[in-house]
Amino acid sequence: MVAASGDAQPDGRPTRLPRSARRKQLLAAAQEVFVAQGYHAAAMDDIAERAGVSKPVLYQHFPGKLELYLALLDKHCDAIVAHVQAAMEATSDNKERVRGAVEAYFDFVDHESEAFRLVFESDLRNEPAVRERVERVERGCIAAITDTIISDTGVSKSRAELLASGLVGAAETAAQFWLAGGRQVPKSEAEALLAALSWRGIASFPLQGEPQEGAWAEGEPV
Protein backbone atom coordinates (compact mmCIF):
# COMPACT_ATOMS: atom_id res chain seq x y z
CA MET A 1 0.00 0.00 0.00
CA VAL A 2 1.20 3.51 -0.71
CA ALA A 3 2.22 5.37 2.41
CA ALA A 4 -0.22 7.93 3.65
CA SER A 5 0.95 11.46 4.29
CA GLY A 6 4.05 10.81 6.38
CA ASP A 7 4.60 11.08 10.10
CA ALA A 8 1.84 12.58 12.19
CA GLN A 9 2.23 15.93 13.87
CA PRO A 10 2.37 16.07 17.72
CA ASP A 11 -1.37 16.80 17.86
CA GLY A 12 -2.11 13.67 15.83
CA ARG A 13 -2.94 15.40 12.58
CA PRO A 14 -1.19 14.04 9.44
CA THR A 15 1.74 16.02 8.10
CA ARG A 16 0.83 18.15 5.07
CA LEU A 17 2.80 17.18 1.98
CA PRO A 18 3.92 19.70 -0.65
CA ARG A 19 1.51 19.69 -3.57
CA SER A 20 3.98 18.00 -5.94
CA ALA A 21 4.71 15.24 -3.42
CA ARG A 22 1.00 14.71 -2.74
CA ARG A 23 0.29 14.50 -6.48
CA LYS A 24 3.05 11.92 -6.90
CA GLN A 25 1.62 9.90 -4.01
CA LEU A 26 -1.89 9.98 -5.45
CA LEU A 27 -0.69 8.95 -8.90
CA ALA A 28 1.20 5.99 -7.43
CA ALA A 29 -1.88 4.85 -5.54
CA ALA A 30 -4.09 5.31 -8.59
CA GLN A 31 -1.74 3.27 -10.74
CA GLU A 32 -1.91 0.34 -8.33
CA VAL A 33 -5.70 0.44 -8.30
CA PHE A 34 -6.13 0.89 -12.07
CA VAL A 35 -3.74 -1.95 -12.89
CA ALA A 36 -5.28 -4.28 -10.32
CA GLN A 37 -8.93 -3.54 -11.09
CA GLY A 38 -9.04 -1.91 -14.51
CA TYR A 39 -10.39 1.57 -15.14
CA HIS A 40 -14.09 0.74 -15.05
CA ALA A 41 -13.98 -1.25 -11.82
CA ALA A 42 -11.74 1.21 -9.99
CA ALA A 43 -13.39 3.78 -7.75
CA MET A 44 -12.11 7.06 -6.40
CA ASP A 45 -12.90 5.68 -2.92
CA ASP A 46 -10.45 2.84 -3.58
CA ILE A 47 -7.74 5.22 -4.72
CA ALA A 48 -8.19 7.56 -1.76
CA GLU A 49 -8.05 4.60 0.62
CA ARG A 50 -4.92 3.22 -1.07
CA ALA A 51 -3.26 6.62 -0.76
CA GLY A 52 -4.37 7.05 2.83
CA VAL A 53 -6.18 10.31 2.17
CA SER A 54 -9.78 11.52 2.22
CA LYS A 55 -11.77 11.83 -0.99
CA PRO A 56 -11.86 15.64 -0.71
CA VAL A 57 -8.05 15.65 -0.73
CA LEU A 58 -8.04 13.46 -3.85
CA TYR A 59 -10.56 15.72 -5.58
CA GLN A 60 -8.46 18.78 -4.74
CA HIS A 61 -5.85 17.43 -7.13
CA PHE A 62 -7.96 15.60 -9.71
CA PRO A 63 -11.56 16.58 -10.52
CA GLY A 64 -12.51 13.07 -11.59
CA LYS A 65 -11.38 9.53 -12.32
CA LEU A 66 -10.75 10.18 -16.01
CA GLU A 67 -8.55 13.18 -15.28
CA LEU A 68 -6.54 11.08 -12.84
CA TYR A 69 -6.17 8.30 -15.39
CA LEU A 70 -5.10 10.72 -18.11
CA ALA A 71 -2.50 12.27 -15.82
CA LEU A 72 -0.98 8.83 -15.34
CA LEU A 73 -0.97 8.19 -19.08
CA ASP A 74 0.70 11.54 -19.76
CA LYS A 75 3.46 10.72 -17.30
CA HIS A 76 4.25 7.32 -18.76
CA CYS A 77 3.73 8.25 -22.41
CA ASP A 78 6.24 11.06 -22.08
CA ALA A 79 8.70 8.65 -20.44
CA ILE A 80 8.55 6.12 -23.29
CA VAL A 81 9.11 8.76 -25.96
CA ALA A 82 11.98 10.28 -23.98
CA HIS A 83 13.66 6.86 -23.72
CA VAL A 84 13.52 6.31 -27.48
CA GLN A 85 14.73 9.86 -28.21
CA ALA A 86 17.64 9.35 -25.82
CA ALA A 87 18.57 6.12 -27.61
CA MET A 88 18.69 7.95 -30.93
CA GLU A 89 20.83 10.76 -29.52
CA ALA A 90 23.20 8.60 -27.49
CA THR A 91 25.31 7.44 -30.43
CA SER A 92 25.92 7.91 -34.14
CA ASP A 93 26.25 4.15 -34.63
CA ASN A 94 23.01 3.10 -36.29
CA LYS A 95 23.32 -0.49 -35.15
CA GLU A 96 23.48 0.74 -31.56
CA ARG A 97 20.57 3.08 -32.20
CA VAL A 98 18.40 0.17 -33.30
CA ARG A 99 19.42 -1.79 -30.24
CA GLY A 100 18.76 1.26 -28.07
CA ALA A 101 15.25 1.67 -29.44
CA VAL A 102 14.49 -1.98 -28.73
CA GLU A 103 16.00 -1.72 -25.24
CA ALA A 104 13.88 1.34 -24.50
CA TYR A 105 10.71 -0.74 -24.82
CA PHE A 106 12.07 -3.77 -22.99
CA ASP A 107 13.45 -1.62 -20.17
CA PHE A 108 10.10 0.08 -19.79
CA VAL A 109 8.28 -3.24 -19.75
CA ASP A 110 10.77 -4.79 -17.35
CA HIS A 111 11.02 -1.96 -14.83
CA GLU A 112 7.62 -0.36 -15.33
CA SER A 113 5.39 -3.31 -16.16
CA GLU A 114 2.39 -1.74 -14.41
CA ALA A 115 2.86 1.45 -16.41
CA PHE A 116 3.21 -0.51 -19.65
CA ARG A 117 -0.03 -2.35 -19.00
CA LEU A 118 -1.70 0.92 -18.13
CA VAL A 119 -0.71 2.47 -21.46
CA PHE A 120 -0.90 -0.45 -23.89
CA GLU A 121 -3.46 -2.77 -22.27
CA SER A 122 -5.99 -0.21 -21.12
CA ASP A 123 -9.66 -1.19 -20.97
CA LEU A 124 -10.41 2.40 -21.94
CA ARG A 125 -8.77 2.44 -25.38
CA ASN A 126 -12.01 3.52 -27.05
CA GLU A 127 -12.09 6.72 -25.02
CA PRO A 128 -10.87 9.45 -27.45
CA ALA A 129 -8.60 11.13 -24.89
CA VAL A 130 -6.97 7.82 -23.99
CA ARG A 131 -6.60 6.74 -27.62
CA GLU A 132 -5.00 10.08 -28.46
CA ARG A 133 -2.33 9.58 -25.80
CA VAL A 134 -1.50 6.05 -26.87
CA GLU A 135 -1.23 7.20 -30.48
CA ARG A 136 0.95 10.10 -29.32
CA VAL A 137 3.44 7.62 -27.89
CA GLU A 138 3.67 5.82 -31.19
CA ARG A 139 3.92 9.06 -33.17
CA GLY A 140 6.61 10.42 -30.86
CA CYS A 141 8.74 7.28 -31.06
CA ILE A 142 8.27 7.03 -34.82
CA ALA A 143 9.25 10.69 -35.23
CA ALA A 144 12.46 10.21 -33.25
CA ILE A 145 13.52 7.24 -35.38
CA THR A 146 12.31 8.83 -38.63
CA ASP A 147 14.61 11.82 -38.23
CA THR A 148 17.59 9.50 -37.80
CA ILE A 149 16.70 7.40 -40.85
CA ILE A 150 16.26 10.49 -43.03
CA SER A 151 19.54 12.05 -41.95
CA ASP A 152 21.49 8.85 -42.52
CA THR A 153 19.88 7.39 -45.66
CA GLY A 154 18.32 10.34 -47.42
CA VAL A 155 15.10 8.46 -48.17
CA SER A 156 11.90 10.48 -48.25
CA LYS A 157 10.03 11.26 -45.07
CA SER A 158 7.14 8.95 -45.97
CA ARG A 159 9.51 6.04 -46.51
CA ALA A 160 11.47 6.79 -43.36
CA GLU A 161 8.25 6.96 -41.35
CA LEU A 162 7.18 3.59 -42.71
CA LEU A 163 10.49 2.04 -41.69
CA ALA A 164 10.35 3.68 -38.27
CA SER A 165 6.80 2.49 -37.70
CA GLY A 166 7.92 -1.05 -38.42
CA LEU A 167 10.69 -0.86 -35.84
CA VAL A 168 8.42 0.72 -33.22
CA GLY A 169 5.66 -1.78 -33.85
CA ALA A 170 8.04 -4.72 -33.62
CA ALA A 171 9.61 -3.46 -30.40
CA GLU A 172 6.25 -2.74 -28.76
CA THR A 173 4.67 -6.05 -29.79
CA ALA A 174 7.70 -8.15 -28.88
CA ALA A 175 8.11 -6.47 -25.50
CA GLN A 176 4.43 -7.00 -24.73
CA PHE A 177 4.64 -10.65 -25.80
CA TRP A 178 7.77 -11.13 -23.68
CA LEU A 179 6.04 -9.71 -20.62
CA ALA A 180 2.83 -11.70 -21.13
CA GLY A 181 4.87 -14.87 -21.59
CA GLY A 182 6.46 -14.53 -18.19
CA ARG A 183 9.90 -13.32 -19.35
CA GLN A 184 10.88 -16.85 -20.37
CA VAL A 185 13.72 -15.58 -22.55
CA PRO A 186 16.38 -13.59 -20.63
CA LYS A 187 15.88 -9.88 -21.24
CA SER A 188 19.32 -9.27 -22.73
CA GLU A 189 18.84 -12.15 -25.16
CA ALA A 190 15.35 -11.02 -26.12
CA GLU A 191 16.67 -7.52 -26.87
CA ALA A 192 19.56 -8.92 -28.90
CA LEU A 193 17.27 -11.17 -30.95
CA LEU A 194 14.87 -8.40 -31.88
CA ALA A 195 17.66 -5.88 -32.48
CA ALA A 196 19.40 -8.34 -34.82
CA LEU A 197 16.17 -8.94 -36.73
CA SER A 198 15.53 -5.20 -37.11
CA TRP A 199 19.13 -4.29 -37.94
CA ARG A 200 19.45 -6.85 -40.72
CA GLY A 201 16.64 -5.07 -42.50
CA ILE A 202 17.67 -1.48 -41.83
CA ALA A 203 21.36 -2.15 -42.53
CA SER A 204 20.50 -2.87 -46.17
CA PHE A 205 19.78 0.82 -46.65
CA PRO A 206 22.93 2.71 -47.73
CA LEU A 207 24.10 5.83 -46.00
CA GLN A 208 23.14 9.10 -47.61
CA GLY A 209 25.22 9.76 -50.69
CA GLU A 210 25.80 6.10 -51.48
CA PRO A 211 24.13 4.61 -54.58
CA GLN A 212 20.64 3.26 -53.98
CA GLU A 213 19.85 -0.07 -55.56
CA GLY A 214 17.09 -2.60 -55.30
CA ALA A 215 13.33 -2.50 -55.09
CA TRP A 216 13.38 -0.06 -52.16
CA ALA A 217 15.27 2.66 -54.06
CA GLU A 218 13.59 6.05 -54.21
CA GLY A 219 10.81 5.98 -56.74
CA GLU A 220 10.80 2.25 -57.15
CA PRO A 221 7.74 0.15 -56.26
CA VAL A 222 8.16 -2.01 -53.21
Res 127: pLDDT: 86
Q: Which residue has the higher pLDDT, 43 or 1?
A: 43
- Give the CATH number, domain containing residue 143: 1.10.357.10
* Cα–Cα distance, 116 to 77 (Å, whole number): 9
> Is there a single domain that holds both residue 157 and residue 78?
yes
Quote the percentage of the chain above a pLDDT of 70.
Answer: 83
Total of domains in the chain: 2
Contacts of 80 (CB under 8 A, 6+ apart): 104, 105, 108, 119, 137, 140, 141
> Is there a single domain that holds both residue 29 and residue 45?
yes
Query: What does the pLDDT average to over 164-184?
Result: 89
> Is there a single domain that holds both residue 81 and residue 41?
no
What tens digit of pLDDT does each residue of 33-80 get? 998 888 888 999 999 999 999 999 999 999 999 999 999 988 888 888
Could you tell me the pTM of the whole model? 0.71
> Is there a single domain that holds both residue 57 and residue 105?
no
* Cα–Cα distance, 49 to 44 (Å, whole number): 8
> Is there a single domain that holds both residue 120 and residue 48?
no
For residues 49 and 133, is the Cβ–Cβ distance under 8 A? no
Of 10, 32, 63, the position where a domain reaches its end is 63
The answer to the question of residue 25 being in a domain is: yes
The answer to the question of residue 46 being in a domain is: yes
**Domain span at residue 99?**
71-202
Q: Cα 87 to the chain's mean position, in Å?
A: 14
Q: Is 216 exposed, middle or buried (0-12, 13-18, 19+ CB in 10 A)?
A: middle
> Is there a single domain that holds both residue 121 and residue 179?
yes
